Amino acid sequence: MTFTVFACLYTTQGVLKNEEEQETQLNEKTLLKRHAKSIKFFLTIFIGITIAFAFWTYTLNSTHTNQLFLLQGKVIKQIKEVPITGDLINQNNFFKIIISNNFKVIFVSLIISIFYGAGALFIITWNASIMGFVIGNLAKEQGINFLPLINN
């Protein structure tokens, strides 16, 4: 995942630098119009990384998938093990796991932002990797063959 962030870092820094130069006045009505290119760029990165992680999760055998996507697998396994209840004060509740995971992501993002300015890109990549891993695993488990040229 770190290599994915570093691969996208140069292009992302260029987009953010371009956005900074365009920030001369704040107007709420034109905010989305003014940032439409950046929003499309980050959305495209998210979708692309999600597709890439789903593709590799789907195509690789279980041994390689477990080795390469160990962190994503741990997060998903941790979430699946907790029964979803309405008990907010339970020690092992779903809410606590999600919040603690998000704090870990925010902390790593903050550290990376301080040194590289890549915090937002880290969050996008992490969430896309989790989503891609889930999509690839579901497709593999359900026997969905959305890539007819690849034999599992």
DSSP string, 107-145: HHHHHHHHHTS-HHHHHHHHHHHHHHHHHHHHHHHHT--
Q: How far apart are CA 128 and CA 86, in angstroms?
A: 28
Q: What's the pLDDT tens digit per position in 70-115?
A: 888 888 887 777 666 666 566 566 677 777 777 887 787 777 766 6
| Residue 68 within a domain | yes
| Residue 16 within a domain | no
> Which is more confidently placed, 99 or 60?
60
The tally of domains found in the chain comes to 1
Which range has the worst mean pLDDT, 36-40, 67-71, 135-139? 36-40
| Residue 98 within a domain | yes
Q: Output the pLDDT for position 47.
A: 94
Q: Output the pLDDT for position 46.
A: 92
pLDDT over 80 at 68, yes or no: yes
What is the span of the domain harbouring residue 48? 36-142
| Residue 8 within a domain | no
Q: What's the pLDDT tens digit per position in 121-140?
A: 888 888 899 999 999 988 88
| Residue 82 within a domain | yes
| Residue 19 within a domain | no
Q: How far apart are CA 105 and CA 5, in angstroms?
A: 14
Contact 113, 119 (CB under 8 A): yes
| Residue 9 within a domain | no
| Residue 118 within a domain | yes
Mean residue pLDDT across the chain: 77
Contact 38, 19 (CB under 8 A): yes
Note the pTM of the prediction, 2 decimals. 0.68
With cut-offs at 50, 70 and 90, classify the pLDDT of residue 147.
Answer: low
